[in-house]
Amino acid sequence: MPSHRDIAEMLFELANYMEIDGENPYRANAYRRAGQAVEHLKRPLEEIKEDLQSVAGIGKGTAAVIREIIETGESSLLNEYREKLPKGLMSLLELPGLGPKSVKTLYKKLNVTNVSELEQAIRRQQVRTLPGFGAKSEAKLLEAIQRAGTRPERLPLGHVRPVAEEVLTQIQSIPEVVQASLAGSIRRMEETVKDVDIVVATEQPDHVAREVASLPAVEEVVNRGTTKVSVLVAADWLVQVDVRIVTPEQYATALHHFTGSKEHNVRIRQIAKEKGWKVSEYGVEQLADGRTLTFDEETHFYNELGLPYIPPELRQGKGETEVGLEQGLPDLVAEKDIRGDLHVHSQWSDGHCTIREMAEAAKSKGYEYVAVTDHSRSLVIAGGLSVEDLMKQREEIDRVNRELDGITVLAGVEVDILPDGRLDYPDDVLEQLDVVIASVHSAFGQDERTMTKRILRAVENPYVHVIAHPTGRLLNRRDSYALNLPEIFKRAADTGTVLELNANPNRLDLNDRHLRQAVEDYGVTIAINTDAHRAEHLHLITYGVGTARRGWLTRHHILNTLTLDKLVKRLKGKNHGS
């Protein structure tokens, strides 16, 4: 029985083929919409099979296709297209800058059917001869091919960590494993990771090594010894997982060693050396008598060196040992400190869930409040709200608040900062909202002066509470826009404007370094928000909290650790210029 997702994928593929084939684009889009409708169906397919046309976006034609897929696992229409057009055209469509029309032209005129044939055609300078193409588009496409073909050196933490946790769970279920933990950059919550490190304690290394090599998640075994097994698992790309196998006595020091960072470990060894000790993954060797100390847990290891426990997120070699020795480390913010999410979307704009669903999810996460902040009118693609819609939405928020106990939904908006720095709604509209988040979604290419002035104008608006994803970077995809951040930090602190740490793993914006600078040097307040577009995304707060901890933040630096009462007062405070 195909899953909702399987059926949606087939409908999307159909839509893509239709577009390349020159079908009526609205017909193609109808299949795409039907795909989305199936993807978001909550009810089981078997149950809804006879009733498909009652679903918005599914009509007579698409219902027949879906029913055929449910019953046979295939679509004869899709099979016809697969027969008619080469499959490689689908991968061409993924290249940024190439749409269906261009793919069709490349196929019909040059018989290009896949990415490598396109690359050859570009190198022969054939593409520039086609109508609508030129030398510049050749260069852009070549760059896109090269970017797409090579795995990025590092992958976003949020893409790899779930896979790593799955592998860890599988390892922990091996009976002979005493203890196991993630280590390395994943444990330090670095925003991107190259590979996965896992430390495993056991009395039977040979057996565990064999078991690890044959775990269900493993796609390929790179090498297998008795102390280290390296395997490949599937995330966005194949990711290497290095599993280190040690004795239970060595576990704490091995975990410390393989957690790093390299810079942190260098400092630790220096400190040990001054005491006449030698630190390695196997323990702390006392050079005087050759005895090696081992520990139950990392805390005892640190204490032995005269240090407080240093959380993995701080182990960057950026002063954590010195500060730890001299004044102790800050009490870093933890996930349990977060009392609400101030940036989520609903079906009113480009979110997938109703306001009630988002509120219930927030409540079951233990939150006190959640702010619904849908897009403003300029962001048409994301279903930006007119002023009228915004007011209607307010009524729904009021209703949900009446219906639900134990969670408060705040009426908010994510208002666009237009290219000239004006906001997408007038002040008298913003004034009526509980939470106003402002952000840039257009004209990313402005020079530093223009962009800085543009954002400063939003910072200085008395009704703007939070600037969302302040630098606009997307990991592995888009750099930050040109921006004088210190100037923004300064004005934000002066005006009481909060800057966001967007917890989406593709953003993590502000990043750890910015956060530490903004808070330590300027006294800026930070809000950690998920920007959730569906209820499940609320859990992404984990990556925000991890990043905040890397930036040395405590709960006192963070807006949404406040209770609802204090939060509301703080938000009102800005309007009154205090």
Partner DNA sequence: GCCGTTTTCGGCCCGACTGTTTTCAGTCG
**Which residues of the chain form contacts with DNA (CB under 7 A)?**
24, 26-27, 29-31, 33-34, 53, 55-63, 95-103, 128, 131-138, 140, 380-381, 383, 419, 441-443, 445
Q: CB 60 → DNA: shortest distance, Å?
A: 4
Looking at residue 133, its amino acid is F
23's CB contacts (< 8 A; 6+ apart) are: none
Report d(CA 543, CA 560) in Å as an integer.
Answer: 15
**3-class SS of residue 281:** coil
Q: CB 132 → DNA: shortest distance, Å?
A: 5
**468 vs 405, 414, 459, 473, CA distance in Å?**
29, 8, 11, 12
Q: Which one, 293 or 443, has the nearer CB to DNA?
A: 443
Nearest to 332 by CA among 347, 314, 305: 314
Q: Which one, 28 or 183, has the nearer CB to DNA?
A: 28
Q: CB 386 → DNA: shortest distance, Å?
A: 12
First vs last C-alpha separation in the chain: 60
Q: Which one, 65 or 157, has the nearer CB to DNA?
A: 65
Task: Check if the beta carbon of residue 471 is closer than 8 Å to that of residue 483.
Answer: yes
Looking at residue 304, its amino acid is E
**117 vs 88, 93, 111, 285, CA distance in Å?**
10, 14, 9, 60
Q: CB 134 → DNA: shortest distance, Å?
A: 2
Q: Which one, 121 or 567, has the nearer CB to DNA?
A: 121
Q: CB 40 → DNA: shortest distance, Å?
A: 13
Q: Which one, 202 or 376, has the nearer CB to DNA?
A: 376
**119 vs 87, 103, 544, 564, CA distance in Å?**
17, 13, 39, 57
DSSP string, 78-125: HHHHHHHS-THHHHHHTSTT--HHHHHHHHHHH---SHHHHHHHHHTT
Nearest to 244 by CA among 208, 298, 214: 208
Looking at residue 370, its amino acid is V
Nearest to 433 by CA among 233, 572, 246, 307: 572
Q: Which one, 17 or 133, has the nearer CB to DNA?
A: 133
Report d(CA 80, CA 84) in Å as an integer.
Answer: 6
Q: How many beta carbons lie within 10 A of that of residue 340, not counting itself?
A: 26
Q: Exposed, middle or buried: residue 477 (CB in 10 Å: 0-12, 13-18, 19+)?
A: exposed
The residues facing 280 across adjacent strands are 283
- Which residue, chain included where needed, has tokens 């800085």? 452
Q: Which one, 339 or 441, has the nearer CB to DNA?
A: 441
Q: Which one, 59 or 152, has the nearer CB to DNA?
A: 59
Q: CB 67 → DNA: shortest distance, Å?
A: 11
Q: CB 32 → DNA: shortest distance, Å?
A: 10
Q: CB 58 → DNA: shortest distance, Å?
A: 6
Q: Which one, 57 or 462, has the nearer CB to DNA?
A: 57
Q: CB 376 → DNA: shortest distance, Å?
A: 13
**3-class SS of residue 303:** helix
* Token output for 561: 């650790």
Q: Which one, 288 or 380, has the nearer CB to DNA?
A: 380
Q: CB 471 → DNA: shortest distance, Å?
A: 16
Q: Which one, 200 or 418, has the nearer CB to DNA?
A: 418
Q: Which one, 323 or 443, has the nearer CB to DNA?
A: 443
Estimate to the nearest angstrom the gap between the alpha carbon of 196 and the chain centroid.
17
Q: CB 149 → DNA: shortest distance, Å?
A: 16
DSSP string, 137-152: HHHHHHHHHHHHHSPP
Report d(CA 509, CA 493) in Å as an integer.
Answer: 18
Per-residue 3-state assignment (H helix, E strand, C coil) for 157-180: HHHHHHHHHHHHHHHHCCCCEEEE
Report d(CA 454, CA 296) in Å as an integer.
Answer: 54
**Prior bond to 230 cis, omega within 30?**
no
Q: Which one, 105 or 495, has the nearer CB to DNA?
A: 105
Q: CB 384 → DNA: shortest distance, Å?
A: 8
The residues facing 255 across adjacent strands are none
Q: Which one, 385 or 540, has the nearer CB to DNA?
A: 385
Q: CB 78 → DNA: shortest distance, Å?
A: 13
Q: CB 100 → DNA: shortest distance, Å?
A: 5
Report d(CA 472, CA 500) in Å as an integer.
Answer: 11
